[in-house]
Amino acid sequence: MNELMRRSGDSLDRASGRAPSPRLERAIQSEVDLVQGRAIVQAARVRGVEYVTYTALQAVEGLTNMEMLALQRNPLGDARYKAIVDTATMSLARIVTETGQG
């Protein structure tokens, strides 16, 4: 029995004046396992969103830098470079949004 179960059982013992039944202990453990499992899944989602966001930011930074260099080489391509990088940036933002909604 884990520490939470032991403390819950101790509290129940004191409140009821008797030891919790094995059935109650199993029910408590099952609920604790469920809550812990959900917490692990949520933490994994947070890490996933963090990783996708970090990667997207790096990609946008690289694309912006490439846009700047292309603009220096050929200023007349400004509107085209901006359209390409903006389109890619919107796609990356959509991916980050979808990841966060998962």
What tokens appear for 66 in the block? 């490439």
Domain boundaries, the chain: 3-101
pLDDT of the chain, 102 residues: tens digit per residue: 466 556 655 665 666 667 888 999 999 999 999 999 999 999 999 999 999 999 999 999 999 999 999 999 999 999 999 999 999 999 999 999 999 887
Q: Would you say the pTM of this structure is higher than 0.75?
A: no
- SS3 sequence of 3-62: HHHHHHHHHHHHHHCCCCCHHHHHHHHHHHHHHHHHHHHHHHHHHHHHHHHHHHHHHHHH
